[in-house]
Amino acid sequence: MSSETRTREFGFWIYLMTDLILFTSLFATYAVMAREGSISAIVDLRQVFLETMLLLSSSATCAVAMVFMERRKKETMLFWLAATFLLGSGFVFIEIGEFARMIREGYGPQRNGLFSAFFTLVGTHGLHVSMGLLWMLVTMMQTWMTGLSSSLQSRMSRLAMFWHFLDIVWICVFTEVYLLGSLS
Amino acid sequence: MGKLTFSAIPIDNPIIMSAVVCAILIAIWIGHEITKRKRWSWLWNEWLTSLDHKKIGIMYVVLAIVMLVRGFFDAILMRLQQAMAEGSSHGFLPPGHFDQIFSAHGTIMILFAAMPFLVGLMNIAIPLQIGARDVAFPFLNSVSLWLTASAAMLVMVSLGVGDFSKAGWSGYAPLSELGFSPDVGVDYWTWALQIAGIGSLLSGINFLVTILRMRAPGMTLMRMPIFVWATFFTNMLMLAAFPVLTAALAMLSLDRYLGMHFFTADHGGNPMLYVNLFWIWGHPEVYIVILPAFGIFSEVVATFSSKRIFGYESLVYATGAITVLSFAVWLHHFFTMGAGADVNAAFGIATMLIAIPTGVKIFNWLFTMYRGRVRFASPMYWTLGFLTTFAIGGMTGVLLSLPPADFVLHNSLFLVAHFHNMLIPGALFGYFAGFSYWFPKATGFMLDEKWGKRAFWCWICGFYLAFMPLYVLGFLGMPRRMEHYANPAWQPWLILAAFGTLLIFFGILFQGIQIATSLGPKRRAADPDPWDGRTLEWATSSPPPSYNFAVLPEVKDRDAFLEMKRAGIHSPTRYEDIEIPKGSAKGAFIGASSFACGFGLVWHIWWLAAMAALLILLIVISRSMEEETMTILPSGEVKRIEEAGHVL
Amino acid sequence: MKAGKYAAGFLLSLLLTGISFWVVTSHSHFREFAVIILFASALLQIVVHLHVFLHVDSSPDSSWNLFSLLFTALIIFLMIAGTIWIMYNLGERLN
Ligand code: HEM
Ligand SMILES: [Cu+2]
């Protein structure tokens, strides 16, 4: 790995650390709000499980794509990235559906502080996933057109870092928000 | 146009309108001068689009000085108002206007004067001190600069278009919620802070990576100059603290824009949570502005005492201890909010603990001077002024860290005196020391000493006169943020404070004269090493060439340049090609678009905000597709520059 | 080699996720027990993810990555613990 790539990866790692602290503030806020109530009545754990599976699998396919990138197999890599993209889109799709259902049933973010915190925390993660999808799309198109240049490779590995990082945040989300919230 | 109409411009308010007209006239005059001298393309190509860390640093400092002057004029207005508005006299500022002024003053001084000043000095000095050719991410550096500048612009525009926040620099909820602050003031404040905050975050990443990955061969961690260490820890603080501010402000905006209930007083909102989050950022923030100044004092004391800094390691560890501890004390800003005695006691003790590493530093500086051959140049004046004055502020701080004392003094002018007593000597004097210390290096000209010393005396005397009375007023029970009061015993002290502010005004004026004479027709070119320096920035010419070092220095000692001078400096026998970043206008465009985005969000002009956000995205994508971002400076050119440089 | 590591990491995280969901949906445990299992498996899963997919280890190459992660973890701990302590204390005193 070139020194320049290492520097960029390290800088990106530091950015991820700051993002972690952004999420920390939202988690702390949620924990404070959860003192006042519970969302267990309106979450559907089966859906959350499905979301989790989609995201975990997308992490795996993303890792496979990186393996093929290192072997310089452009087409195979793009295939696995496309799979990652689809799984990630599935996740966002389900999340939007869940949000829409909750709002329809009168549990929107304006309901009270707890729901504001719920929508903001889960939504911020969802927004990150969506930005990751956009980034993936742009990078895939660039690779398709220009081939696997070294700068694209280095960008791709940062994208993979981002993607795995979002999984970690999701682990915290389903543990604190959904599972802990569903314990009686 | 969303909520924006012509009535947003306060044409019926003579004070605001004269300020606006003044600002516009100054802008026109500057524009005219540039046009007359045909300097537009020079300004654009050599400065605004430059990715050279030294030029970016200078632009940051210019921004900081402009905003410092703006913040200071706010202070003059407040001091005049409070000197007059006793009993039947109501002064010249109505309450709504006074509230905007203290909110703007606090916000501007901390985020748009202190922050750009310290990031500017970091930019100028850090790569040189570690023997690097640039920062790790030069383009990102330009983005940070322009984000900060566009946020400052947003604050300035709020002067003439609409209102600024009336909720103080801390914007406590629920006062800052829509129900109590329905106008756009709070939105100006949040978006300006958000944009500037992202700029600071990116700078933090950039400099942390620069320090960890770009050091010259041989510069181990324990050979880094103290200012580099201070910057390192400052960046850790910025990276860990700013995201919390971003999150807190985002939640406040969600309340205001989408009707959520994070911090509202009803619907299960929790206003105290806002206070909690704000100070998780806010306390580290005061160390963010002060640690770099501590670093500068350390450099200055060692250089002007011609001695190695005393207790280098203890200074490093003390700074590290402050870094971690500053995340464990935030509750001392709201002892009176109602937490139990156990909580208050724990945070009170943690606060007192911070005084220990700070005290260690004071002794480091004193012992460095002890038996040194101290040269009294103006950087040293600022340092000595700091040492004496800061000790007083530190002691009042320890007093405030005792919850029972804080219950009495909280929210009074005692507190205002205390934090100015920390921030003016601790932060501002440090930046002034750094400014006069590195001015010759950055510009290539010596800074006039005569006016510098006059400015110093005005500042220090003005400071005591303006702020010591506030301690007294605190004991007399005067609360902060008062636009009018009915207690004749307070007035003499406030008049005294106004006179102090007048003296400070002369200090700032003299600094202006100092800069003008130093750059004007009678200017004096600076040597590469005017102060008999000890660290690597003095090993280059003044100002340094774009690539800083023709040959990367080999570091063998803590005082790297001093050691080189002792060993004898040889000019290199052969030069190599050097890669330097090409200029790019994209940073400036990102800044301009963020300004448009912020303005659109403030006034609910959704199409403008959306288009500007899209534009930012497109610029970022197009930058990521650029291939040729570097250019090669051939060895022959390097040789020519180096040989011309040494003639200077 | 790398692929094997990824596969193991993936399976492990599936397993841990399964445990977490099972503990909650089976409704047959003491609350404290369930909470401990939840936190333990989340923590473990985070460590697996960091190590397998984000390549955090103790090699000298990634020592600064590890250092920044530990520093961040410390700060996160201070922020979360402090906030919960302060805000719950306030809440109790209000009731
Ligand atoms: C240069 C001379 C300065 C003067 C004469 C001055 C004066 C004042 C005055 C009169 C107030 C309002 C006090 C009140 O609430 O009654 C104030 C508030 C404040 N000042 Fe300064 N100041 C100066 C410099 C600074 C600097 C350098 C900083 C920060 C780096 C700063 C930060 C603040 C803050 C944060 C507030 C609180 C604003 C609020 O209440 O929301 N000031 N200052
Ligand atoms: Cu504090």
User: What does the alpha-carbon distance between residue B537 and residue B560 come to, in Å, rounded to a whole number?
Assistant: 10
Q: Please report whether residue B20 resides in a domain.
A: no
Least trusted range by pLDDT, from A122-131, B1-10, B66-75: B1-10
For residue B412, the CA-to-ligand 1 centroid distance in Å is 13
Residues B277-333 have pLDDT tens digits of 999 999 999 999 999 999 999 999 999 999 999 999 999 999 999 999 999 999 999
For residue B115, the CA-to-ligand 2 centroid distance in Å is 17
Q: Please report whether residue A108 resides in a domain.
A: yes
Q: Is B50 left (phi over 0), alpha (psi -120 to 50) or beta?
A: beta
> Is there an atom of ligand 1 within 6 Å of B107 CB?
no
Q: Which residue of B has its CA nearest to A3?
A: B213
User: What does the alpha-carbon distance between residue B293 and residue B270 come to, in Å, rounded to a whole number?
Assistant: 36
Residue nearest to atom 19 of ligand 1 (CA): B106
Q: With contact defined as beta carbons under 8 Å apart, do B92 and B15 qualify?
A: yes
Q: With contact defined as beta carbons under 8 Å apart, do B394 and B445 qualify?
A: no
Instruction: Indicate whether B570 pLDDT > 80.
Output: no
For residue B75, the CA-to-ligand 1 centroid distance in Å is 7
What is the identity of the amino acid at C21? F
User: What does the alpha-carbon distance between residue B108 and residue B112 come to, in Å, rounded to a whole number?
Assistant: 5
Give the CATH number of the domain where residue B540 resides: 1.20.210.10
Q: With contact defined as beta carbons under 8 Å apart, do A20 and B245 qualify?
A: no
Out of B137, B268, B624, whose CB is closest to A113? B268
ipTM given for this complex:
0.96
For residue A68, the CA-to-ligand 2 centroid distance in Å is 51
Task: Provide the pLDDT for residue B643.
Answer: 83
HEC states along B388-410?
HHHHHHHHHHHHHCCHHHHHHHC
Task: Provide the pLDDT for residue C1.
Answer: 66
> Is there an atom of ligand 1 within 6 Å of B470 CB?
no
> Is there an atom of ligand 1 within 6 Å of B103 CB?
yes
The mean pLDDT of B357-378, rounded to a whole number, is 94
Q: Please report whether residue A92 resides in a domain.
A: yes
Q: B213 and A117: CB-CB below 8 Å?
A: no
Q: Please report whether residue A135 resides in a domain.
A: yes
User: Helix or strand or coil: residue B86?
Assistant: strand
Q: With contact defined as beta carbons under 8 Å apart, do B36 and B575 qualify?
A: no
Q: Please report whether residue A174 resides in a domain.
A: yes
Query: What average pLDDT does the structure give for chain B?
Result: 95
User: What does the alpha-carbon distance between residue B254 and residue A25 come to, in Å, rounded to a whole number?
Assistant: 15
Residue nearest to atom 4 of ligand 1 (CA): B75
How much of chain C, in percent, has pLDDT values that exceed 70? Answer: 98
More confident residue, A182 or B450: B450
HEC states along B415-453?
HHHHHHHHHHHHHHHHHHHHHHHHHHHHHCECCCHHHHH
Residues A112-148 have pLDDT tens digits of 999 999 999 999 999 999 999 999 999 999 999 888 8
Q: With contact defined as beta carbons under 8 Å apart, do A176 and A26 qualify?
A: no
> Is there an atom of ligand 1 within 6 Å of B304 CB?
no
Give the CATH number of the domain where residue A78 resides: 1.20.120.80
Q: Which residue of C has its CA nearest to A157?
A: C54
Give the minimum alpha-carbon distance from A149 to chain B in angstroms, rounded to a whole number. Answer: 10
Find all residues with CB under 8 Å of B438, minimum gap 6, and list them: B121, B124, B125, B537
**Across-strand partners of B631?**
B580
For residue B190, the CA-to-ligand 2 centroid distance in Å is 21
Task: Provide the pLDDT for residue B646.
Answer: 54
| Structural domain of B354 | 39-584+629-643
Domain count of chain A? 1
Domain count of chain B? 1
Out of A22, A113, A120, whose CB is closest to B269? A113
What is the secondary structure of C16-77 as a DSSP string? HHHHHHHHHHT--S-HHHHHHHHHHHHHHHHHHHHHHTS---SSGGGHHHHHHHHHHHHHHH
Q: Please report whether residue B21 resides in a domain.
A: no
Q: Which residue of B has its CA nearest to A32?
A: B273
Residues C36-66 have pLDDT tens digits of 999 999 999 999 999 999 998 888 888 999 9
Q: C64 and B338: CB-CB below 8 Å?
A: no
Q: Please report whether residue A83 resides in a domain.
A: yes
What is the identity of the amino acid at B439? F
User: What does the alpha-carbon distance between residue B15 and residue B11 come to, in Å, rounded to a whole number?
Assistant: 10
| Structural domain of A114 | 42-183
> Is there an atom of ligand 1 within 6 Å of B480 CB?
yes
Q: Which of B65, B100, B105 to mutate to test the pocket of ligand 1 (most atoms within 8 A of CB)?
A: B105
What is the identity of the amino acid at B280? I
Residue B648 banded pLDDT, cuts 50, 70, 90? very low
A170 in contact with chain C, both atoms CB, cutoff 8 A: no
> Is there an atom of ligand 1 within 6 Å of B160 CB?
no
Q: Please report whether residue A84 resides in a domain.
A: yes
Angle at CA of residue B157, ends B502 and B194, nearest 5°: 100
Q: Within chain A, where are the H helices?
A: 3-33, 45-70, 74-104, 113-146, 150-173, 180-182
User: What does the alpha-carbon distance between residue A159 and residue A181 come to, in Å, rounded to a whole number?
Assistant: 31
Nearest to C82, CA basis, from B56, B275, B439, A177 = B275
**Across-strand partners of B633?**
B578
Q: A10 and B212: CB-CB below 8 Å?
A: yes
Q: With contact defined as beta carbons under 8 Å apart, do B390 and B426 qualify?
A: yes
Q: Which of B80, B86, B416 to mutate to test the pocket of ligand 1 (most atoms within 8 A of CB)?
A: B416
Block residue for tokens 């660290």: B535
Q: Which atom of ligand 1 is nearest to the CA of B466?
A: 5
Q: Please report whether residue B621 resides in a domain.
A: no
> Is there an atom of ligand 1 within 6 Å of B114 CB?
yes
